[in-house]
Amino acid sequence: MPAYERSSATEVREIDRWGEGVGWIAHPNEDGERASHALKAGDGVWVIDPVDAPGVDGLVEEFGDVAGVVVLSSHHARDAGTIATRHDVAVHIPRWMDRITERVDAPIEREETVLGSLGFDVTRVEPLSLYQGAIAYRDTDGTLIVPDLLSSGSAYPVGNERIGVMLGARLFPPRDTFDWLEPERILFGHGEGVFEDATTALKNALTGARKRFPQALVRNLGTNLRLFAAAMNDQLKRAREH
């Protein structure tokens, strides 16, 4: 399987459906398992970290007209500009986030708290300076969105984990960022979300991250290296083109 599939998607796999939103994976066969989501907000819908594919508009518009596109990771520009332009809306990013403006051909709006109008609190995270990310949590319904740091995808969990911590952050897991949260559902930027007993799965991931580091290193290092190399190759290609 490719680390990241860069050709145009030909299918979309629906994931993470609940009353207030839906998720999808546009390239089901890639190792990176890039996941995107749409969240209902009144009569509108906000699209988060999207990868475009045939059928995406149909999924999203079940929840209303697109009000905006949100990017929660400095490495998740993805197809945000394409979808924003198609729906004549802006791409919203945290005020402090780099890299997105030069990768998105659409109006950009920088905000102190993205998704604040939907009731989310946002926490800035920068593990090992690998990227800039924003963790979004809404306590009224227990929705937690984590773009990169945690995932259910194949490059993250080991053993009995349903959620895994990013390999590079396992030795110093970000417990302070998550300890106070009690999510009902967790949506990821990579892989399917966790909707059953999510708080327990989260605590297990964080408390055992360091202990299970050797196991994760053996099982997931190869996949992580492929994903990292693919991301760096894409970055170098973009730099040469510009």
Q: The CATH number of the domain where 190 resides is what?
A: 3.60.15.10
- In the numeric block, the tokens 């559902």 are attached to 185
In a domain, 235, yes or no: yes
In a domain, 200, yes or no: yes
User: Containing domain of residue 168, as a range?
Assistant: 13-241
Residue 90, classified by CB atoms within 10 Å of its CB into exposed (0-12), middle (13-18) or buried (19+), is middle
In a domain, 137, yes or no: yes
Local structure of 219: helix, strand or coil: helix
pLDDT at 233 > cutoff 70:
no
Over residues 6-33, the mean pLDDT reads 90
Number of domains making up the chain: 1
What is the pTM (predicted TM-score) of this model?
0.93
In a domain, 51, yes or no: yes
Measured torsion, CA atoms of residues 31, 97, 141, 27, in degrees rounded to the nearest 10? -20
In a domain, 75, yes or no: yes
- pLDDT bucket at 137, cuts 50 / 70 / 90: very high
133: β partners: 73, 125
In a domain, 4, yes or no: no
- The Cα–Cα gap between 227 and 230 comes to 5
- Measure Cα distances from 159 to 58, 97, 155, 216, 237 in Å: 37, 34, 13, 9, 37
In a domain, 164, yes or no: yes
Over residues 220-233, the mean pLDDT reads 74
In a domain, 2, yes or no: no
